[in-house]
Structure 1
Amino acid sequence: MKKRLLGALLAIALGTTAHADAPRLAPTVEQAQAAYLGSMFLSRYHYAVRPLDDALSSEIFDRYLKSLDPERLYFTQADIDGFADLRTRLDDAILQSDLQAPFALFQRFDERVAERFADARKLLQQDFDFSVAESYPLDRSKAPWPKDDDEARDLWRKRVKNDWLRLKLAGKDSQAIRDTLSKRYDNALARSRRTRSDDVFQTFMNAYAGSIEPHTSYLGRGAADSFDISMRLSLVGIGAVLQERDEYITIRELSPGGPAARSGKLAAGDRIVGVGQGDGSPVVDVVGARVDEVVKMIRGTKDTRVVLDILPAGSGPDAQHKNVTLVRDKIKLEEQAARKSVIPGSAGKRIGVITLPAFYEDFEGRRRGDKDFRSASRDVARLAEELKKEGVSGLILDLRNNGGGSLREAVELTGLFIDTGPVVQQRGADGKIAVESDLKAGVVWNGPLAVMINRGSASASEILAAALQDYGRALIIGEPSFGKGTVQTLVDLDRVANNEKPVLGEIKMTIAQFFRVNGGTTQLKGVTPDIRFPSAFEADEFGETGFDNALPWREITPASYQPAGTLQDILPELQRRHEARSKDDKSFRELQEDVAEVIRIKEMRSLSLVEAERKQEKEAREARLKARNGKDAEALRDDGLQSGERSLKAELASEKAFKDRKDFLLEETARIVADAAVLAPTPAATPTPASQSVAKAR
C-alpha cells in the first residue's frame, strides 16, 4: 500500500510543471499521531461507526476537495484526474501515519490559487464589454470542474467582469475600480499565503470526520480553546476585539471595563504593529500576521503585562508609534450571555423577553465547585425572577440563531418551566435508552410562555423547545428549527496520549441521538412551530436535511410524562388573531415580498453581465428600498464593496443600524403572548432555586 501511495504522490509531483520548489507546507509528526488516534476513536466508538477503508477514503477525498474549493473555481478536471489514484489511499495515509497525500493535494490547490489571482490581476488592465450577452453563475458548488486551464481562465474572466460591473453600477470610475479590485485580489492572495500546516491538517481531518456524520469534527488547539471560551463566557486578555484590515491587526472595538478601555490610551481604529510580553523580552513585529496569532500573543495569565506597539488610528504608516503597557485581566463576554428586556404586547400587557445566544456552561468551574460558575440556566433563572418582580404578564425565550451548547444546560433550563419529569431521551450506539429528567420540584415562571425559534436554532435549543411543546408549557413561534438531533462529546487526544503539553487537539464525536419525550426526534424534521412566520429558507438549503450523510429520522417509545398545559385549546384563536394582524401589517407584507425576491434570485442560477440588464434590476431594487425606507435607503444601496473594504467607522455604523432595527417578529410574538395571557390567565409563579440537580450529561 505504501508503495502505491508513494507512486501517487510522485505522479502529482511530476504533474506540477510550473512549480518545482519544495512544498510550502508539510505535515508534522504530531499531526500524524493525532490523525491515527482520532481514527481509532471514530472507527470504534462513534454513534454511526464506519470502518476507515477505501469506501470512506473516497468520500473523504470528495469532501476534502469541496472544503478547499467549494465553488470549483481553482482546480480543473485535469487536476482531479491527476489525483485519481489518491481517492482510495487517504485511509492508508491516516492509518500509516503518513500525511503527505492530503498535503500534496493542498500544494496543488495553493499553486492554483496563486495562478488564478495572478490572472485576475492581469485582467484588470483591460476594459470589459458589458453589452455582450453572457452571465456568471451564482452557485457553482454542483457544477462540473473547469475541464482545463483555458476554461478556468474564462470562468475567472467572468468573475472579474462581475466584480467590475458591481462597482461600476455603484458609481465608481475605472481607476477606482482597478484600485479596489487590485487590493481585493492582493489581500485574498495574502490571506491564502498565511495558511499554516495546522490549517491544512484541520481541513483534512474535518473532511474525514464530516464524512462519517455532519456534526463530527476535529478541533485543533486554537479551535478547542475558542470552544472553551465560548462555553465559560470569559477569557484572560485586554478586552479588545481585533480584525485584520489590509496588513494590519486593527482594534475594532473595546470591551467596557476591560484593561484596554480603562487605560484610556487605545481607540477603535488603532493598529497593533508589535506585541511584547512585558518581561523584558523584545517586541515582536506583527504586521502581516494573522489575527489568531496576535490574539494568542496578547492573551495570557491574569495580572501579567503585555506591551503593544501602536500605530494610531488615521495616521500614515510612517507616523510616530506609541507603546502601551496593559495588565491582563479576566474579560467577561457579556454580549454572548443571556439578557432581558421588556416590550409592550396587546391589551396593555407588558411582556418580558430573555434572549439566549447559546447554552453555555463553565464546565471546569462547575467541576471545581466554584460558587459563581457561569451557566445559561442560572442566568435565565435570575433574569426570569427579575422580570417577574417587574410585573410582566408573559415571557418570551428568544432562541433564534442559538446553535446549542451544553446538553445539561438544556435539561436544567427546561426544568425552570416545568415542575418535574423527563426532558429528553438519549439513544446510544448500543441501542440503550437513557432519560434525562428535571428532578427539582417547582418552576421560576408558570405564566404565559413562548419560545421563538428559527432555522438557526439547533441542538440544545431544539431539546428545550421540543420538551416545552410536548408538555404544553410554551407556544413555539417562528420558523422550523435546524433539525440536529444528535449528541456530541469531546475526546482530548493529548489526554489519550498522556501528553503534558497540549499539541494534538480534540475530536468532537457524535455518541448518541436524542429523542423527544413523546418518542419522536428533532433529527432532520426539527421542531415545527405552533405559529409559523414566513421564511426564505427551505430545509434542504439551511438545515440538517442539507447534509448528504445526515442520520435518519427515527421514533422510539414515549417517556412517561404528564403534560402541564392546554395551549392547544387556545391555539386556533391565537392563530386567528395573529393572521388578522399580520394581514394588514406593513412589515409582514414586506417580509413576504423579501421571501419572494429571495426565491426569485435563487431560481435565477446566474447573474447577467449585460450592464443595461443589471442596471435595470438595480434601479428596481433601489426604488423598492426607497419606497420602504425613505431617506435611509441610501445607506442600503449596493456599493459593490466587500467586508473589510469600507472604512471601519462605516462598518461599525452599519452593524449598529442592523442591531437597532425594528424586530417586528419579536413584537408580534409579544402580542401573541399577551393574547395568551388574556385567553388563559395563570397565577403568579413561585420562585425556586436556579440550580437544578440532574443526571450529568454533555
Structure 2
Amino acid sequence: MLKKLCCIVLCIALSAQAADLAPQPQHQRAIRVSTALLGHYHYKPTPVDDQLSAAIFERYLKSLDGDKYYFVQADIDQLNGYRTRLDDAINDEDLQPAFAIFNLYTRRVEERFVYARELLKTGGFRFDQNERFAFDRDKASWAPSEDALRQVWQLRVKNDWLRLKLAGKADSEIATMLDKRYEQSIRRVKRLKSDDAFQAFMNAYTMAIEPHTSYLGPRASADFDISMRLSLFGIGAVLQERDDYTVIREVTPGGPAALSGQLKAGDRIVAVAQGEGPFVDVVGSRLDETVALIRGPADSVVRLDILPGDAGPDARHRQISLVRKKVDLAQQAAKKSILDVSDGNDLRRIGVITLPTFYSDFEGERQGDRNARSATRDVERLLGELGKEKVDGVVLDLRHNGGGSLKEAIALTGLFIDTGPVVMERNAQGRVFVDGDSNPGTAWDGPLGVLIDGESASASEIFAAAIQDYGRGIVIGEQSYGKGTVQTVLNLDQAVGDDKANLGELRLTIAQFFRVNGGTTQLRGVQPDIAFPATSDPTLTGEASNDNALPWTRIRAAAYDRVADLGDIIPQLQARHAAWAANDPDFKKLAEVATELQRLRQLKSLSLNETERRRETEAQEKRFAGIARVDDGLLDSERDPEREKADEKAADKVKDIRLRGAAHIVADEVNLLRENARPAVQQRASQAALSH
C-alpha cells in the first residue's frame, strides 16, 4: 500500500506543474493485451517485477534523453521514485507515472531550446579559445545543476554556429537559421500527443525485455504495412516537413501527382480536402497528420491547396484535385544493372541485383492476388532478364538491407539451390523446426557473389549464411549486423476481437534462427569470405551494441549437402582481390577512409577553435572527397528539395567502389571456375533434412 501511495504522490507532484498529455482508454487496453501476449508467446518470457521495472526506467530515460541534454540530476532524483514502481503501473494499467515522466521531459525540452534561442540574441561567440564540444554524452553523468547544463548548451549552440560558419554562412544568416531551427524544435515537442507518449513508454517496456520486441501504434503500424507491400493508395509524392509547411520533396514517377503535372519538388501544401468537403488547414501540422489526410481509398478524390515553392508566403495559391491510385514504391524494390569488368583481354559482364528489403504483400497474398509484391518474384524476373542479357556472373547486393519477411528469405535462397533446408528455428519451448526450399530447380546456377555490410540483418543474414553454407557463392564485404532472432507481428485489434479498437500492433520475438550448419548469426553476424575495409563497428552499431541481446549459441546441424565447394578457390580469390585492391586508387582510398573512420569513432568531442576545426574539416573533406558529402551544417529538413535531389543524382554517379570490387571478385570467380572446368553448382542438395 505504501509503495503505491508513494507512486501516486510523486505522480501528482509532477503532473501538477503542466501535464498536458494524459493516457487514453485505448492505451490501458493495449498495455493489458500486450502484457498478456508477451507473457505467453515471447521467446524470452520475463516477469513484470521490480527488476524489469528498473530496466524499463533506464531505457525510458535513455530514449527520451540519451545524450543528457534536458534533465538535470535533481530531475532524476525526483523521478527515481518510479524506478521500481513501473511494474505496478503496468500490472494495474495505471499509465500516469509513464505520462508524468514524459510530460516533465517535454517541459525540459522546451526550456532548453528557449535558452538556446536566448543565447543567439546575445551573439558574440568567440572561436579563438581552446574549448571542446562533447558530442558523445551517452556515458556522461547527469548535469549536477541548471548552471552546469546551461554550460553544456552554450557549447552545443557554439558548435551549431561553427558548423554553419565553416560551411560559408554569414553571421546574420546563421543566427536566423539557428533561431528557426530551435523554434521548430519547440513546436515539435508542443505537437506531441498522448499516443507519442504511450508509444515511447511501450517501447521502453518491450525493448527492456529484448532489443527487437517493439510496439507499433496505429499510424506506425500502417507505415510498417506499407513498407512491406511496397504500395499505398495516395498521390505518389514524397513529403517532408520544412518550417511550418509540408513540402513536396519529390514526385513519384507514374503516380497521380506526376501524371497530373501539377506538382513539383518544393511546392508547399497549405490545406487538404476530401472530395468536395471543406479544406483542413495543415500549416503547422505534424507531417504524419498531413500524410494521413492525403492517403485514402483507391479512386477517391483529394484536393490540395498549394503554395508554389518558388513563391513568397503571400503569393497566390492554387488548388488541385487528384484521384488517389495504388502507388508502387518502386525505389524500394529490387533493381538490376550490369557492370563490365575487364581483366587484360577478358571482359566479363556481371549482373547486379540490388535488394533494399525482403518485402512481401501479405494481405495481397491472403486475397489471392497473383501480382502481389514479392521480393523473390521480382528477383526471379530480374535473373531471367540478366540471363537473356548473357551475364557471366551475378552480384546480389544486400547492403543496408535490414531484413523483412522470413518466408521471402527462404524462397529467395531457393532461386539459387535446387532443394534443401535453408534455416532452422528454435522456439521458446526449445523445439527446433527446419524451413527449406522444396521447389526443384534454380533461377540462376552460375557464379554468384553476395555483398553485405554492417546494416545487412535478419533475413539478409539468413540468405547470405545459407549461400555460404551450401558453398553456392562468395560472401563479400563487411561483417553483418548479427540479428539471429525471429519476430512476428500481432494485431492487437484482432487479439481482442474488436476491429475498431485502434490498439496498434505488437512486434515480438518468438524464436531464434540458426544456420543449417548449426551456428547462429546472433551477435557474430555473417563473416564474409572476402572482407572489405570496415567502415562500421559491430560493437557500436550491430547486435553486440545491445546490452540485453540474446547470446550466441549452437544446435545440431541440419542434414544438407553442399552444392559446390568453393573453399579451394577462395584463397586464390582473396589473393587476386588483394592484388587488384592494391593497384586500384579508389579502393586504396576506401581503405584510408575506413582507417580514418576508425579514428573518428574514438573521438568524443570536437574543437570549438575555428582555426583548428577548419584545419580538421578541410583534411577530412580531402580524405572523403567523392565518397561522402561535405558537411554543410544543415538538417535534412533545411535543405532545398531541388538541390537535395540534384545532390542525390550526383552521388549516384559517383563510382560505387565496393560494388565494383565485388564485381571484380565475381569476375575472378568466373575465370577460376572456367580455368578449372568446374560449374558453379556441382550437385543436387539432399532433401532428407526437410522432414521435421
TM-score (normalised: structure 2): 0.95
Matched, 1:620 2:623: no
Q: After superposition, give the CA deviation of every residue in 1:546-603 in whole Å (9 maximum; x if it has no partner).
A: 0000000110000000000011111111111000000111112211221222222222
Matched, 1:595 2:594: yes
Cα 1:354–1:423 change in 2 (3 A) is same
Aligned-residue offset at 1:462: 0.5
Query: For the residues of structure 2 that align with 1:558 and 1:642, how far apart are their CA atoms?
Result: 49
Q: After superposition, give the CA deviation of every residue in 1:272-323 in whole Å (9 maximum; x if it has no partner).
A: 1100101x32110000011111111111111111111111111111111111
Matched, 1:72 2:68: yes
Cα 1:370–1:618 change in 2 (3 A) is closer
**Which residue is equivalent to 1:428?**
427
Cα 1:130–1:101 change in 2 (3 A) is same
Cα 1:15–1:676 change in 2 (3 A) is closer
Moved more, 603-612 or 249-258: 603-612
Instruction: Check the 8 A contact 1:445/1:684 in 2, yes or no.
Output: no
**2:291 aligns to what SS in structure 1?**
helix
Aligned-residue offset at 1:201: 0.6
Aligned-residue offset at 1:125: 2.0
**2:395 aligns to what SS in structure 1?**
strand
**Which residue is equivalent to 1:468?**
467
Instruction: Check the 8 A contact 1:308/1:324 in 2, yes or no.
Output: yes
Matched, 1:654 2:647: yes
Q: Which amino acid aligns with 1:112?
A: R
Cα 1:696–1:375 change in 2 (3 A) is farther
For structure 1, the 5+ residue unaligned runs are 687-693
Moved more, 557-566 or 672-681: 672-681
Aligned-residue offset at 1:345: 2.3
**Which residue is equivalent to 2:57?**
61
Query: For the residues of structure 1 that align with 2:380 and 2:200, how far apart are their CA atoms?
Result: 39
**1:210 aligns to what SS in structure 2?**
helix
Query: For the residues of structure 1 that align with 2:536 and 2:478, how far apart are their CA atoms?
Result: 9
The match for 1:178 among 175, 180, 183 is 175
* Within-5 A mapping of 1:488-499: 488-499=487-498
Q: After superposition, give the CA deviation of every residue in 1:667-695 in whole Å (9 maximum; x if it has no partner).
A: 11111111111111466999xxxxxxx99
Cα 1:696–1:462 change in 2 (3 A) is farther
Query: For the residues of structure 1 that align with 2:303 and 2:619, how far apart are their CA atoms?
Result: 53
**Which residue is equivalent to 1:368?**
367
Query: For the residues of structure 2 that align with 1:235 and 1:696, how far apart are their CA atoms?
Result: 39
Instruction: Check the 8 A contact 1:359/1:406 in 2, yes or no.
Output: yes
Cα 1:242–1:623 change in 2 (3 A) is closer
Q: After superposition, give the CA deviation of every residue in 1:315-351 in whole Å (9 maximum; x if it has no partner).
A: 1111111110111111111111111111112420101
* Within-5 A mapping of 1:96-111: 96-111=92-107
**1:426 aligns to what SS in structure 2?**
strand
The match for 1:334 among 330, 334, 340 is 330
Q: Which amino acid aligns with 1:244?
A: E
Query: For the residues of structure 2 that align with 1:34 and 1:325, how far apart are their CA atoms?
Result: 38
**Which residue is equivalent to 1:345?**
341
Cα 1:384–1:508 change in 2 (3 A) is same
Instruction: Check the 8 A contact 2:341/2:347 in 1, yes or no.
Output: yes
Query: For the residues of structure 1 that align with 2:6 and 2:310, how far apart are their CA atoms?
Result: 55
Matched, 1:669 2:666: no
Q: Which amino acid aligns with 1:237?
A: G
**Which residue is equivalent to 2:606?**
607
Cα 1:339–1:15 change in 2 (3 A) is closer
Matched, 1:156 2:153: yes
Query: For the residues of structure 1 that align with 2:264 and 2:36, how far apart are their CA atoms?
Result: 49
Query: For the residues of structure 2 that align with 1:624 and 1:676, how far apart are their CA atoms?
Result: 32
Aligned-residue offset at 1:135: 1.1
Aligned-residue offset at 1:615: 2.4
TM-score (normalised: structure 1): 0.94
Cα 1:102–1:655 change in 2 (3 A) is same
**Which residue is equivalent to 1:196?**
193
The match for 2:37 among 26, 41, 62 is 41
Instruction: Check the 8 A contact 2:246/2:287 in 1, yes or no.
Output: yes
Matched, 1:479 2:472: no
Cα 1:545–1:568 change in 2 (3 A) is same
Instruction: Check the 8 A contact 1:343/1:353 in 2, yes or no.
Output: yes
Matched, 1:645 2:638: yes
**1:568 aligns to what SS in structure 2?**
coil
**Which residue is equivalent to 2:672?**
679
Aligned-residue offset at 1:655: 1.9
Q: Which amino acid aligns with 1:603?
A: Q
Moved more, 653-662 or 72-81: 653-662
Instruction: Check the 8 A contact 1:73/1:152 in 2, yes or no.
Output: yes
Instruction: Check the 8 A contact 2:472/2:680 in 1, yes or no.
Output: no
Query: For the residues of structure 1 that align with 2:412 and 2:529, how far apart are their CA atoms?
Result: 21
Query: For the residues of structure 2 that align with 1:15 and 1:538, how far apart are their CA atoms?
Result: 40
Instruction: Check the 8 A contact 1:425/1:436 in 2, yes or no.
Output: yes
Query: For the residues of structure 2 that align with 1:309 and 1:173, how far apart are their CA atoms?
Result: 35
**Which residue is equivalent to 1:241?**
238
Instruction: Check the 8 A contact 2:133/2:156 in 1, yes or no.
Output: yes
Query: For the residues of structure 1 that align with 2:533 and 2:81, how far apart are their CA atoms?
Result: 48
Query: For the residues of structure 1 that align with 2:355 and 2:405, how far apart are their CA atoms?
Result: 13
Instruction: Check the 8 A contact 2:130/2:609 in 1, yes or no.
Output: yes
Moved more, 221-230 or 638-647: 638-647
The match for 1:262 among 256, 259, 262 is 259
Instruction: Check the 8 A contact 2:11/2:97 in 1, yes or no.
Output: no
Q: CA RMSD in A?
A: 2.0
- Total equivalences in the alignment: 679
**2:568 aligns to what SS in structure 1?**
helix
Cα 1:639–1:362 change in 2 (3 A) is closer
**Which residue is equivalent to 2:686?**
none
Matched, 1:228 2:221: no
Aligned-residue offset at 1:510: 0.3
Cα 1:56–1:443 change in 2 (3 A) is same
Instruction: Check the 8 A contact 1:493/1:504 in 2, yes or no.
Output: yes
Identity, % of aligned positions = 54
Q: Which amino acid aligns with 1:567?
A: L
Q: After superposition, give the CA deviation of every residue in 1:52-108 in whole Å (9 maximum; x if it has no partner).
A: 111001000000000001111101111011011111111111111110001000111
**Which residue is equivalent to 1:273?**
270
**Which residue is equivalent to 1:508?**
507
Q: Which amino acid aligns with 1:418?
A: I
**Which residue is equivalent to 1:691?**
none
Instruction: Check the 8 A contact 2:11/2:96 in 1, yes or no.
Output: no
Cα 1:58–1:657 change in 2 (3 A) is same
**Which residue is equivalent to 2:141?**
144
**1:340 aligns to what SS in structure 2?**
strand
**2:539 aligns to what SS in structure 1?**
coil
Cα 1:335–1:171 change in 2 (3 A) is closer
Instruction: Check the 8 A contact 1:476/1:530 in 2, yes or no.
Output: yes
**1:324 aligns to what SS in structure 2?**
strand
**2:310 aligns to what SS in structure 1?**
coil
Instruction: Check the 8 A contact 1:187/1:246 in 2, yes or no.
Output: yes
Query: For the residues of structure 2 that align with 1:657 and 1:9, how far apart are their CA atoms?
Result: 58
Matched, 1:441 2:437: no
Query: For the residues of structure 2 that align with 1:334 and 1:487, how far apart are their CA atoms?
Result: 27
Query: For the residues of structure 2 that align with 1:145 and 1:605, how far apart are their CA atoms?
Result: 17
Query: For the residues of structure 2 that align with 1:624 and 1:107, how far apart are their CA atoms?
Result: 45
Aligned-residue offset at 1:624: 4.6
Instruction: Check the 8 A contact 1:9/1:104 in 2, yes or no.
Output: no
**1:561 aligns to what SS in structure 2?**
coil
Instruction: Check the 8 A contact 2:226/2:232 in 1, yes or no.
Output: yes
Moved more, 518-527 or 676-685: 676-685
**2:467 aligns to what SS in structure 1?**
helix
